[in-house]
Each structure stands twice: as C-alpha cells, then as structure tokens.
Amino acid sequence: MKRSKFSFILVLMLALSVFLVACTSGNETPPTEEPGTEEPVAEEPQNLSGPLTLSGSTSVEKVGLALIEEFMALNPDVVGTYEAIGSSGGIKNAADGVTQIGTASREIKDEEKAWGIEELTIAYDGIGVIVNPANPVEDLTIDQITKIYTGEITNWKELGGNDEEIVVVSREDGSGTRGAFEEILGFEGKLTQKALIAEGNGNVQTTVAGNPKAIGYVSFSSLDNTVKPLKVEGVEPTAEDVINGTYKISRPFIFVYKEENLTEPAKAFLDFVMSEEGQNIVEENGAIRVK
C-alpha cells in the first residue's frame, strides 16, 4: 500500500513537471524574440545582438559555419545557427522568412527568383571528380565524364585503366552538388540507371574509397585523402584553376535573402562575409574567394 501510494505520487509529480516545463518554455519564447525584433530600432551597430539564422546547402555548411563562428566571436550577443537542409530548402526558407538567409550551391532557378529574393555570390566551389587511389586513371575529359555518367562508357579499359566495370556513384535527386554537376556537364536527367545513389558528400567519398572500380564527385571543400581527385581536361582541381576559369567543373556559393527579413545582425553579417576577413575565412575552408 505504501509503495503504491509512493508510485502514484511519483507519477503525479512527473505529469506535473511535464506540464510545468511546457508552460514555462511557452512563457520564455516571447522574450527571446523581442530583442531580435527591437534591435533594428537601436542605432548602435557596435552592440549587435539577437538571432542570426541561416539554412540551406550542405556544401556551404562548412564555410557558413566558419563565418558564423567568427562573426559570433566578434559579436558575442549574436546567436547564429546554420541548418544544412539543401539548397532548395534554404532558398525556400529565405523566401518564406523561416530563416533570414538561405544558402545555395547552385545558380538560382527562374521559378525561385520569382519569389522576390536578393542574391549575393560569396564564393566559388569546384566539384572534384574522384576515383579510388588504386585506380591508375589520372585525367579525363569533360566528354568522357559525361559519357561515364550517361552510361555510354562502362569499362575503365576505354579510358586507359584496368579492364573493369565502372561503378558510377551519384547523389540523390535535388542535391545541389548533383544539380550543379549535371548542369555543368550538360546531361540533366540522363544519369545512367546503373548509378549508385549516395546521400551526401561524405557517403560518396566512403563509397568510392571502398571500391576500386568506383567514380564519384564531391565539392572541393569536402575532399580528403581517402580518394584521388582526377584532372579534368588536363587541369588539376585547384582553387586557382577555378578562379582563372581553366577548371571547368565549378559552381557559385550564393546567399539569398529578402531585404525585409534582415535584422541588424544579419545585415552586418553579410557585410562581414564580403569583407577581407570574411573572404579569408572562405578561403581557409576550401572554397574560392570572390574578392
């Protein structure tokens, strides 16, 4: 009897605490929002505070987070977040005002431009074509890569490699990197049916690193030494070659936003990104500076 009484009280207390938590968190939300909305009225740009929200491309995440981190170090009262949900989602979030800034790792489509968003190109990225380190092939032309991905070339022998079937690795439909890759090479919608689909840059690299017959593509910023990046048309995949236009498989990193959704911290952040310091951070994180 005593025991059941005790457990009954315990259950009651648990239920009560759940209610309390629900209530208090409900009360807490408005105050945290207020500073953000009031901030634009204040004339002091030195004391920025409030939320700074970004969402979008998984490829821009590394650069975006590094920029946010440095910006938060300079402005301790700003709370910045980056949600990596993909370019399309980020652009949509910026248009809907879900986040102040959306990020994209591809050109903005016309149907998206129709949502009335501003664009700011903050960097460039190259897409590296990667193979397993055990693969003797070093250099491919744009035409050869396209034919591999459309299924016209199916054996490494045809490219000067071993007599082995090519395992084509691509990204999921809607991925910014895949969109950029197919658009730059001009084979949109013609990906071979045999292609394996890996989710995210990391998975592509793991798949290629684990299979000597595989070919894949990832953005420069996530390249690591478990895989071998190929030369394209004889050009090494380096930042310099993207800037001078000789490395063909490259794409822009774009921030999109609606002017009316930008708070003071967000405006200051955009200035910071395009400053000398911001562009240095871009470069340190594997992307290619625009200024």
Partner 1 sequence: MEKDMKLDKKNELKEKLAHYLFLFNATVAIISVAAIAFFVFYRGLQPFIPGNAEGNYNLIDFLSGLEWRPSLGKFGILYMIVGSLLATFGAIILGVPVGILTAIFIAELAPKWAKKIIKPAVEMLAGIPSVLYGLFGLGVIVPWIMQISPQAQGQSLLAVIIVLMIMILPTVITITESAINSVPDAYREGSFGLGATKLYTIFKVVLPAAKSGILAGVVLGIGRAIGETMAVMLVAGNLIAGLPKSIFSPIRPLTTNIAMEMSYAFGLHQEMLFATGVVLFVFIILINLILSRITRGSVLK
Binding site for partner 1 (CB under 8 A): 8, 11-12, 15, 85-89, 92, 164-167, 172-175, 188-189, 191, 193-199, 203, 206-207, 210-211, 213-214
> What residues contact residue 212 under an 8 Å CB cut-off, 6+ apart?
132, 134, 135, 164
Buried b (16+ CB within 10 A) or exposed e, 57-90: bbbbbbbbbbbbebbbeebeebbbebbbbbbbbb
| Least distance CB 50 / partner 1 (angstroms) | 27
Strands 288-289 and 118-131: antiparallel
| Least distance CB 153 / partner 1 (angstroms) | 14
Measure the CA–CA gap between 137 and 125, rounded to whole angstroms: 24
| Least distance CB 165 / partner 1 (angstroms) | 4
H-type alpha helices, 114-230 = 142-150, 176-185, 201-209
Four-point Cα dihedral 100, 104, 108, 113, nearest 10: -10
| Least distance CB 174 / partner 1 (angstroms) | 3
In this complex, which beta carbon is closest to partner 1, that of residue 191 or of residue 266?
191
In this complex, which beta carbon is closest to partner 1, that of residue 162 or of residue 246?
162
In this complex, which beta carbon is closest to partner 1, that of residue 71 or of residue 181?
181
In this complex, which beta carbon is closest to partner 1, that of residue 72 or of residue 197?
197
| Least distance CB 90 / partner 1 (angstroms) | 10
> What residues contact residue 160 under an 8 Å CB cut-off, 6+ apart?
136, 137
Residues in a beta bridge with 84: 56
In this complex, which beta carbon is closest to partner 1, that of residue 211 or of residue 238?
211
In this complex, which beta carbon is closest to partner 1, that of residue 194 or of residue 291?
194
| Least distance CB 6 / partner 1 (angstroms) | 13
